[in-house]
Amino acid sequence: MKMMEFRSCRLNERRQAIELSKTIFKPNMEEQFLCLFGENNIQRMFIASEDNNVVSMVNYYPTTIQVHQAKITTGSIGSVATLPEYRGKKIASKLLQMAEEKMLSEAITLMIISGQGGLYLGIGADYAGNATEWFAEYGHISKTTKITLKKYDDSFFPKINGIYQQENIRYLRDENEFRLLIKGQTYPDSFATYPFEMIFRDGILVAYVILQLETDEERFDLGIKEYGGDRLAIVSAFDLLLECYNKKVMHFATDPHDEIEQYLGGCEKKAIHQFTSFKIINFSRFMDELKPYWETLMPESKNMIKWSETNGKYIIYWGEEQLQVDNILLLTRLIFGYDQKLNIDYSQCPMIKAFVDRIFPIPFAWTHNINYQ
């Protein structure tokens, strides 16, 4: 009888696990996901092995996301892959459970998944997030002769890193990690390439964009995968970028709290979620992490807001008031936002409603930037 093992990947199995990912997804997975599949991350690569063959895998990469004064510990799950003949047996579900247990042991509070569907709904994770999708047509935003472009090369890394470190909402990346993410997430796909452009004002480097350039010549839009630095300079560079790549519309996502939105008046836009599944896996610790953000934004909440979790119910208190949220998905969408109205009754808790309206949804990094794992 064949015995299936469920465990962390071993170093001598890493190559086989990567090959599974390439078989299920695309041939350049290894080149793009240098952090997720790195040897230093092997204890977070969970596999199901039968007869010494890797038949399923679930992986995550840990990082911390800074939200102004708050630092949220996250684990990004990616490359969830199962051979076709082994699907429908809840193998990946078991591996997901193992990954979540490992995250909890590392004091991670938030799970982020690069996907959506029944497998993730089964553990209480689904699409959430608060974002705006923008379409800025060529000629809509005034040009400035002070703005110039230059393609990135590694000699500029220290300055680019310095610009990135000034972002108030960001993944915390050390220098080695940042280099790996740039290398991996600008590696070309068959359907798109990812040019890295630096933006100068009066000859001084002030911002950067990592683009998504579709290989389909019928496409008229140019995407932005990640941006950092001076927002006005970025917007002022749109026409130059569109001219450079022979496109007509700049297409990108922003957090509604981002300063860049004030320079986009009149551009087409629509509310979207993050197209990423979220799950708060440790509510109490997550609220502890988030507390510095809301206490700075709303000082009167200090010592007033408390919280508890009992039998899958999540309760927020303000003095004698309390708001009960009945499931983890609704709680996640309350905190991170969603592109549809949430059915929450605040009639008995006006102070909590004022708090929620002021604090939630929180600002958050775009998860499809170069940290996308």
Domains delineated in the chain: 4-128 (3.40.630.30), 132-269 (3.40.630.30), 282-359 (no CATH)
pLDDT by residue (tens digit) across 277-294?
999 999 999 999 999 999
Confidence of residue 349 (pLDDT cuts 50, 70, 90): very high
Average pLDDT of the chain, as a whole number: 96
At residue 350, does pLDDT exceed 60? Answer: yes
pLDDT above 90 as % of the chain: 96
Confidence of residue 141 (pLDDT cuts 50, 70, 90): confident
> 58 pairs with which residues across the strands?
46
Token digits for 302?
């200090």
pLDDT by residue (tens digit) across 304-319?
999 999 999 999 999 9
Confidence of residue 144 (pLDDT cuts 50, 70, 90): confident
pLDDT by residue (tens digit) across 18-27?
999 999 999 9
Q: How many helices and strands in the chain, by DSSP H and E?
A: 11, 19
pLDDT score, position 210: 98
Considering only CA atoms, which of 233, 333, 316 is closest in space to residue 276?
Answer: 333
C-alpha pair distances (Å), 68 with each of 65, 167, 291: 9, 9, 11
CB 154 within 8 A of CB 357: no
H/E stretch holding 136 reads strand 131-137
Which amino acid belongs to residue 117?
G
At residue 248, does pLDDT exceed 80? Answer: yes
pLDDT score, position 28: 97
A 10 A CB-CB count for 219 gives 16
pLDDT score, position 29: 98
Considering only CA atoms, which of 230, 274, 292, 294 is closest in space to residue 366?
Answer: 274
Residues in the chain: 373
- The SS3 assignment for 209 reads strand
> 196 pairs with which residues across the strands?
210
A 10 A CB-CB count for 244 gives 16
pLDDT by residue (tens digit) across 92-103?
999 999 999 999
For tokens 């009960």, the residue is: 324
Residues 6 or more apart whose CB falls under 8 angstroms from that of 61 comprise 35, 36, 41, 44, 75, 76, 78, 373
Confidence of residue 143 (pLDDT cuts 50, 70, 90): confident
